[in-house]
Amino acid sequence: MESHINQQRLFQSFRELVSIDSPSFSERNMADSLKQRLVKIGFSVEEDDVAEKIGGNSGNLFAVLPGQLDAPPLLLCGHMDTVAPAVGKQAILEPDGRIHSAGDTILGADDLSAVCAILEAVTSLEEQGIPHRPIEVLFTVAEETYGDGVLNFDFRKIRAKEAYVLDYDGPIGSAAIAAPTILMFQVTVNGKSSHAGFAPEKGISAICAAAAAISKIPSGRVAPNATLNFGRIEGGLLTNIVPETCLVKGEIRSTDHPYAMQLLANLEETFRQVCAEVGAEVEITHRCMIHAYATPEDSPVVQRYLRVCRSLGLETELVTTFGGSDNNVLALHGISGIVAASAMHACHTCSEYTTLPEMTQVARIVAGLLCTTD
């Protein structure tokens, strides 16, 4: 039995939630609204203590709804925060179903189209009395800042072993089944200052040492599954002083975690060798922002998604993405998941948009997933 999705209610929820400002670390009002909506549907809801851990004003929301089908629970995940500019958002609906902002802010379809599709899907199942699996919902904070919210979540609360994270900007029916490790690195080169006009030979240019090292390190797409980028370089004080310090920041991405670590090791070795040759010192630090995952195409969580999408007449596509999501962290905790298309386009820009027909399709997919027993 297929559930009926109420498009008018779906848009009304989207418009109301878009009007709530929820930049990363400031999701308080959004969390309060979602708590009320989840409780109204019948979920038991709890908010964790992540706010004090990350310097925000709201925690992650975890909600549970019993099911009638004899099947394990499924986890549905979306995030509450948005990127800037995100204050004063409006959702404007065009006659053709396209929804956009007023043009001076992002819309917030990333990730409110997903949040609203989840709410509408479960609401429709409950009000129509359609049996469904036990449902667990995780709405996270600070996802846009490399998953700060989910990184601090207590995964002992989750029973589900499979998850659908709705946070992908591809065509409806598509999903990401693999995503990369992202390493952020910072290199500080310390040389020796000297007057650039009277005694340049007495100095050691930190900028030149850094440049020499960078010139020896491949960057850009360094392999089919890896990228390396030098994103920021700063150093020096005045044009007549040999620069004593140079700071280099960048990132490495690869769907193969060991390979990402090898690229980092090669970078560190090159910097140390080049700097030693000119008498400069170097300090290198890094942080693994997210860890790569790959969900096998033949796994139940993937095949279930494909069956439901095809039953709705949707074309399907499985991809590898070079962006991260909450699913990277779920995978580290033994939860098999995919990142499903969630009706968002031109994300992180003021041209961001969604469409009501697409959001409706996402809600139908979610409802279909929840009504399966395999």
Q: What is the 3-state secondary structure (H, E, C) of the chain?
A: CCCCCCHHHHHHHHHHHHCCCCECCCCHHHHHHHHHHHHHHCCEEEECCHHHHHCCCCCCEEEEECCCCCCCCEEEEEECCECCCCCCCCCEECCCCEEECCCCCCCCHHHHHHHHHHHHHHHHHHHCCCCCCCEEEEEECCCCCCCHHHHCCCHHHCCCCEEEEEEECCCECEEEEEECEEEEEEEEEECECCECCCCHHHCECHHHHHHHHHHCCCCEEEECCEEEEEEEEEECCCCCECCCEEEEEEEEEECCHHHHHHHHHHHHHHHHHHHHHHCCEEEEEEEEEECCEECCCCCHHHHHHHHHHHHCCCCCEEEECCCCCHHHHHHHCCCEEEEEECCCECCCCCCCEEEHHHHHHHHHHHHHHHCCCC
Instruction: Examine the residue annotation and report whether 143 is marked as an active-site residue of this protein.
Output: yes
* Candidate list 27, 81, 120, 136, residue with the active-site label: 81
Cβ atoms of 250 and 228 within 8 Å: the answer is yes
Do residues 174 and 319 make contact, with C-beta atoms less than 8 angstroms apart? yes
Residue of 110, 111, 120, 143 marked catalytic: 143
To the query of whether residue 46 is one of the catalytic residues in this protein, the response is no
Are 359 and 217 in contact by the 8 Å Cβ rule? The answer is no
Active site residues: 81, 143
